[in-house]
Amino acid sequence: MKAKPAAAPRAPRARVRTTSIAAFVVLAALVPTTASASGTQEIEAELPYVCTLPSGRLPATVRLSANFPQRAAAGEAFTPSDVTTTVELPAPAVADLTARGAAEVRAATRLAVGVAQNSATATATWRGGAEPLALPASGPLTLTARGDVPSVAGRGDGDLTFSAGALAIDLALGAADPATADPGSLTVDCALAEEAPEQGLLATVPVGTGEPAPSGSPSSPGPVETSGAPDDAQQDRPGDREPERQSDRSPKVLENTPGAAADRDEVPPCRYDEQHPPTDVSLNAYVTGYANVKKMKGAAYLPPSCVLIEQGLPAPGPADPEYLIFDTVSYGNFHYREREQTPPFEATFLSFDFAPVKATMVLEQTGPLRIDSRMKMRLSDFTTITDTYVRAPLIVRVLDLEVNGTRLDVGSQCRTETSLTSKDPDPANFPGDHLVLYGRGEQIIGLPATGYLLLSGGVLSGETTIPAFTGCGTDGEDLDRLLTASVSGPGNHIKQVQGQTCAIAAPVFPSPENEGQCTEDLQPYEIPVAER
């Protein structure tokens, strides 16, 4: 392992039924970001791992780089920056992927990072996403992922250490020929190899105003908290337990992305009404997630939005000697204050590491959301596999824009020229500009369903091009070129999570299968949680 302790700053699920919902792309920062650090240590580490693939346990090399502060005060939260995780998988791993019919791969990484101070420990999850990559014809596969990581605060004086632990790599596979079967996805679990030096140590950040406290030594009372949440250890009354030493309290890991479902009063209503009366096949659901903006090298969060869906009836698909095939076409609409759009949402980034840029926008439909699901039941064991494509014509409309607290008047007609666009797997039957999201679900008899199904929800993902902007600016000030140059372009990955649907007819005909789908006023019971 290599480490540079003080370097100069760098330069810049649940129940089953079947269907899906649309997605969102977020307009990100409008001014390019550059990195500038002061009093930082630049860390580079190379560690041996062992990863489990279909062909067995294979060695892998993981390289990690990040910027940490040289030291921090007790209770002061800081966030490692410029975090990059590079995974090199050997040639046999590539053979495993090509054997599934894959020609390209998109990776997302989840690294467990142990955080320790004196005798106390905590765990942070470092998540990263990689751009799509063609599988090499020979040799190893190198995946480079970047993303946000949680903030951390030491509870008292003493060195705060960061050590790499278990690594999970989620691989979304793409076929060379869209007409062939989709190769699906694969999760590769990796563990630190026994010969890894120093138990995967990445960085050490001294905490406190003085010299680091020796392990187990008491430190000054009264820790400084970094959020308004009460600390679990302080819920007991004085005298109920022995006095706690601050050195025994776990470092505080502050997730800087939504990690729990929103409260009911924090999401817009999602119900049918007199203007939108339900039918026997009506569904409603919440959807939330993240969208990358490639030019900004970052991701933005879209909070839960409501979609109303009319589920289609299954029809026999093409004949197949091994499967029974059924195709279902459903349609849906966003529903917000009688409009077919998402609620207004904000995307905030930090430009030049100090100037906040905030855009308020909505995704607005220009046509219905079409949901195509194909269910294949294998005759040998009755396992079902369902592939779902969501096609959504959506424009991005910008409502407000602020740069460093100064409002720029974008006017009332600021929007993308056309819909967000994706490469459609069936362009002959689905021409025109629209976003495409894909999800796959599987169910084995007697076991819960996995993956995405329309009724039980799950993850939908895809890639889109953000078109040029038009109509932005007032009083002769043209902001179209600024927005287009800063945001528009191809290669923007989207990952959305749909919750369990509420089948409106279910409360009328209750059964164990539909229990817990709906609230008493027929809104979706489940509010999903976004995933990176």
Share of the chain above pLDDT 70, in %: 77
Residue that finishes a domain, picked among 194, 209, 224: 209
Tally of domains in the chain? 2
Contacts 24+ apart (CB under 8 A), 313-316: 313/281, 314/18, 314/375
- Residue 435 resides in a domain: yes
- The pLDDT assigned to 297 comes to 63
Residue that finishes a domain, picked among 189, 209, 229: 209
Write a three-state SS string for 60-117: EEEEEEEEEECCECCCCEECCEEEEEEEEECHHHHHHHHCCCEEEEEEEEEEEEEEEE
Say if residue 151 is in the same domain as residue 275.
no
- Residue 242 resides in a domain: no
Say if residue 293 is in the same domain as residue 409.
yes
Residue that finishes a domain, picked among 163, 185, 209: 209
Say if residue 332 is in the same domain as residue 461.
yes
Say if residue 300 is in the same domain as residue 200.
no
Q: What is the distance between the alpha carbons of residues 328 and 316, in angstroms, rounded to a whole number?
A: 9
Say if residue 292 is in the same domain as residue 357.
yes
The contacts of residue 330 (CB under 8 Å, 6+ apart) are 19, 309, 310, 311, 312, 370, 371, 373, 454
Q: What is the distance between the alpha carbons of residues 223 and 250, in angstroms, rounded to a whole number?
A: 11
Q: What is the distance between the alpha carbons of residues 519 and 285, in angstroms, rounded to a whole number?
A: 12
On whether the pTM is more than 0.75, the answer is: no
Question: Residue 484: in which H helix or E strand, if any?
Answer: helix 480-487
- The pLDDT assigned to 35 comes to 30
Say if residue 164 is in the same domain as residue 276.
no
- Residue 383 resides in a domain: yes
The residue segments making up the domain with residue 368 are 264-503
Say if residue 444 is in the same domain as residue 375.
yes
- Residue 3 resides in a domain: no
- Residue 239 resides in a domain: no
Quote the tokens at residue 360.
Answer: 């308020």
Say if residue 118 is in the same domain as residue 196.
yes
Say if residue 328 is in the same domain as residue 455.
yes
* Other Cβ atoms within 10 Å of 359 Cβ, number: 27
Say if residue 285 is in the same domain as residue 359.
yes
Task: Give me the average pLDDT of each 10-residue run along the chain (532 residues).
Answer: 37 37 29 42 93 91 94 85 92 90 87 88 84 88 84 85 92 74 81 85 84 36 29 34 47 54 81 89 93 71 91 92 93 93 76 60 93 92 91 94 83 95 93 94 81 91 94 87 86 90 74 70 90 72
Say if residue 186 is in the same domain as residue 276.
no
- The pLDDT assigned to 221 comes to 29
- Residue 182 resides in a domain: yes
- The pLDDT assigned to 386 comes to 93
380 CB-contact burial (10 Å; exposed 0-12 / middle 13-18 / buried 19+) = exposed
- Residue 117 resides in a domain: yes
Compute the chain's Rg from CA coordinates: 25
Q: CB of 267 within 8 A of CB of 304?
A: yes
Q: Which residues pair with 398 in a beta bridge?
A: 361
Q: CB of 120 within 8 A of CB of 155?
A: yes
- The pLDDT assigned to 469 comes to 94
184 CB-contact burial (10 Å; exposed 0-12 / middle 13-18 / buried 19+) = middle
> E strands along 228-368, which residues?
252-254, 282-293, 298-310, 315-316, 323-334, 345-351, 355-365
Q: Which CATH number does the domain housing residue 126 bear?
A: 2.60.40
pLDDT in tens, 376-402: 998 888 889 999 999 999 999 999 988
- The pLDDT assigned to 296 comes to 67
Say if residue 272 is in the same domain as residue 205.
no
How far, in whole angstroms, is CA 171 from its chain's centroid? 14
Question: Residue 485: in which H helix or E strand, if any?
Answer: helix 480-487
The contacts of residue 295 (CB under 8 Å, 6+ apart) are 28, 32, 486, 487, 488, 489
Question: Pseudo-torsion of CA 467, 468, 473, 476, nearest 10°?
Answer: -160
- Residue 410 resides in a domain: yes
